[in-house]
Amino acid sequence: MLISFGSTSHAIRGERVLLDDGIKVVVMPLPSKIRAGCGIALKIELCDIDIIKKILTKHQIEFEVHTL
């Protein structure tokens, strides 16, 4: 799964708060077939999606979830 962000600052903050909470993420360019956000995405494991949504929402980080 991928998480995209509306701005580069949200992408950077999102990566930081997820890593701080022990969530494994991989930073990558947003695939061209997905037209959303700032062009930066975090690749995540499907099993982590519920906790990721809670963490990002708690930190008021705007995001969208995309399936590959």
Q: What is the pLDDT of residues 1-19, one digit of tens each?
A: 999 999 999 999 999 999 9
Please report the pLDDT score of residue 4 as a whole number.
Answer: 95
CATH at 59:
3.30.70
Domain count, the chain: 1
Average pLDDT, the chain: 94
Read off the pTM: 0.90
Q: Which domain holds residue 59?
A: 2-66
Q: Torsion-angle region of residue 44: left (phi > 0), alpha (psi -120 to 50) or beta?
A: beta
Residue 63 has pLDDT above 90, yes or no: yes
pLDDT tens digit sequence for 23-51: 999 999 998 888 877 889 999 999 999 99
CA 37 centroid distance within chain? 11
